Amino acid sequence: MTTPLELAVGEITEIAFTLPGSDRTIRLKASVRRVDQTAEALPQASKEFQGVSEEVRRALEAFCAVGESSA
C-alpha cells in the first residue's frame, strides 16, 4: 500500500475499501509490519489485517482467486 502518511512499524491503523462488484464498505484494523521509503516515491507500507470476520475473509479470498485466475 502506498501512503502519504508517516507510519511506524507496530502502529495500528484502519483501512476502508470496497471490493469491485460490491456496494459494501469493508473496514478493518491493520498493524503496520514494514515501511519502505525512497526519496523519489511515497512510502510503501505492508500491513497485517486484524480481527477479520469469516464473511469478510471469504469475500477477500474469492476476490483474490478471481485475480489469480485471470493472470
Q: Which three cell numbers stand for residue 38?
A: 525512497
Say how far apart CA 42 and CA 50 lie, in whole Å: 24
pLDDT at 18: 93
Cβ atoms 18, 25 nearer than 8 A: yes
- What pLDDT does 6 receive? 80
Segment 6-62, tens digit of pLDDT: 888 999 999 999 998 889 999 999 999 988 877 677 878 889 999 999 999 999 898
Task: Decide: helix, strand or coil at residue 68.
Answer: helix
Alpha carbon distance 15, 25 (integer Å): 10
pLDDT: which is higher, 2 or 38: 38
Residue 38: count other Cβ atoms within 10 Å of its Cβ. 8
